[in-house]
Chain A
């Protein structure tokens, strides 16, 4: 496929514009720039179809971040298409609108009826822009709360696929209570009396990811990242220079193996050699197998144990020492 030249030029101009502003003012504009830059890269790659060679050996942290953003990496809906035989998308938060960046509904996951919550980045430029590259607005998180209410009511386990740079940093998002909506979503998920399995399938950016990330089992794909801030954001704060993102990625320890070591995730789901984008079918099989295994395990637990076990899991997390 060849991207429309105008779209590419327009996006490139927008990226340059933002980069100049970021440089001039020392601000962190990462949330705006990174998805656009990734899209520019993807469009360029589409026009010049030579595939980059797959990295050999263990990728560095920064290489993994790039794999998490690789053009053609499966999106949440790609996994649904591979793994679910039925999916009824339910729309709207009943308060303001319907957010295409965070979607969901009941589905049959490898035969198991579940409630899906999906951060969907979009597959082509048009849908990526429509879905704001997976950065949700408050109505997205409020829809998630609504769907979690339904899951609790009907005893459906929740499967949440996390893939976002972060919640959308827009004016209207703030007016409608972005922080409030995220906090409410975290609380709702923690209180669920059904099994909850989360998978970080690409980017796990900060509170916007955590909003649907507080389940009984948190899994992450081998080349996904999860952090309090994106590497570009951290680099802008530390060195006032987003191009130092590779250094920030090292400092943040945001890769799947790091998170397993820190006890933040239960399991790292292996990806096909070179990354999930090189073999989406194989990537989906691994995700499907891991999620179903954890679901089956959790479905044997009582509703009370599911809730208290999840609460205990998050109550423990953190690193500190104690003086007596």
Chain B
């Protein structure tokens, strides 16, 4: 199946020494050398400092869903260069490179599956593809995932990781903020829950649209989440930013997210929450 192919081809982003590239990954925060095998069983969380390493979309699916439960929905929608966008290289060239790197058409993977037996529709952004930027394909796939959930009566979980809207599709990217909202309202009208899981980093147009209109907003520990980037803000106000500014814990204390949940506890958290919100009865 598709996931196995990814794991064979893709390597974790931060590799250890060149002598043992397949065995070790260095924690980007505490610099501890971590066995990849241990890292995988620990949901790609550093066992020493608790840092949550960034995941690609396939890894996220593995960490979140019951083994073997994933059926992919996305893939048919392909990006196109409607604006003939040209900067230092053409948009089609950029796309081709990102597609080769990640093995997917755009920065999104959607499908259905189960979390501890609770059926869900899942959409995962892929930061490895052009910084998880949202263009027409991401918007369309997220809209379709929401509509699929509405049609099939499942809750929706969206995992965000994005630098914001995609510059190369200009105003068309911007419109995806509205498109995703329209589809999520279709889901809301069915009385089905939508939970967003904000991961590092979630900024710009994604923060200002579907990520933050979820019924419940969950964030990963330490994730950078905001509208404007911290450096832009620092230069606008010309003073230093407080410690932990725009991090998940900061947002929790400001009332912007419902919970900061360790990756190793997210399955239990989501299964319980979604079970309750969909009034699933369990035998006492």
- Using CB atoms and an 8 Å cutoff, list the residues of chain A in contact with chain B: 18, 21-22, 25, 27-29, 31-32, 167-171, 173-180, 182-184, 186-187, 190-191, 206-207, 210-211, 214, 226-229, 234, 237-239, 247-248, 251-254, 259, 262, 264, 311, 314-315, 317-324
Contact = CB atoms under 8 A, between A and B. Distances in A.
A56 to B, nearest CB: 27
Among B85, B171, B231: residue with most chain A CB under 10 A? B171
Nearest to A179: B207
Nearest to B178: A314
Interface of B: 76-80, 82-83, 85-88, 135-137, 139-140, 143, 165-167, 169-179, 181-183, 185, 204-205, 207-213, 226-229, 231-233, 235-237, 239, 241-242, 245-246, 254, 256
A177 B207 CA distance: 9
A207 B87 contact: no
Contacts of A180: 207, 212, 256
A235 B281 CA distance: 55
Given A210-B177, A262-B171, A318-B176, A239 B87 contact: yes
A259 B181 contact: no
A207 B239 CA distance: 25
Contacts, number: 201
Given A317-B178, A319-B82, 15 more contacts: A21-B235, A31-B236, A171-B241, A178-B227, A179-B211, A182-B208, A183-B207, A183-B208, A184-B213, A186-B178, A207-B174, A211-B208, A315-B182, A318-B179, A319-B169
B235 A186 contact: no
A175 B225 CA distance: 11
B173 A171 contact: no
A214 B171 CA distance: 13
12 contacts: A29-B235, A170-B228, A176-B254, A178-B208, A179-B212, A186-B209, A207-B165, A214-B181, A314-B178, A318-B179, A319-B82, A320-B140
Contact of A320 (B80, B177, B213, B227): B80
A32 B83 CA distance: 28
B139 to A, nearest CB: 6
Contacts of A311: 182, 185
Given A182-B227, A184-B213, A320-B140, A170 B181 contact: no
A173 B229 CA distance: 12
Contacts of B174: 206-207, 210, 226-228
B167 to A, nearest CB: 6
Contacts of B246: 174
Contacts of A191: 185
B217 to A, nearest CB: 9
B172 A206 contact: no
Contacts of B87: 238-239, 247-248, 251
A5 B211 CA distance: 46
A169 B228 contact: yes
Contact of B236 (A32, A183, A184): A32
A174 B245 contact: yes
A319 B79 CA distance: 7
B169 A228 contact: yes
B237 A171 contact: yes
A262 B172 contact: yes
Contact of B167 (A171, A228, A315): A228
Nearest to B105: A323
Q: Indicate the member of B137, B170, B205 with the most A CB atoms within 10 Å.
A: B170
A322 B76 contact: yes
A254 B170 contact: yes
Given A238-B88, A264-B172, A183 B78 contact: no
A323 B185 CA distance: 27
A260 B176 CA distance: 17
Contacts of B176: 317-318
Nearest to B253: A175
A234 B169 CA distance: 12
Nearest to A265: B171
B140 to A, nearest CB: 6
A176 B171 CA distance: 26
Contacts of A29: 232, 235-236
Contacts of B254: 175-177
B209 A183 contact: yes
A169 B229 CA distance: 8
A183 B182 CA distance: 12
Contact of A174 (B79, B88, B209, B227): B227
A237 B178 contact: no
Contacts of A251: 83, 85-87
Contact of A18 (B179, B185, B210, B235): B235
B32 to A, nearest CB: 30
A318 B172 contact: yes
A253 B235 contact: no
A178 B175 CA distance: 18
A314 B179 contact: yes
A200 to B, nearest CB: 10
Contact of B235 (A32, A175, A179, A259): A32
Given A190-B181, A227-B174, A314-B179, A28 B232 contact: yes
A214 B139 contact: no
Contact of B77 (A228, A252, A322): A322
A318 B139 contact: yes
Given A174-B227, A175-B254, A183-B210, A317 B233 contact: no
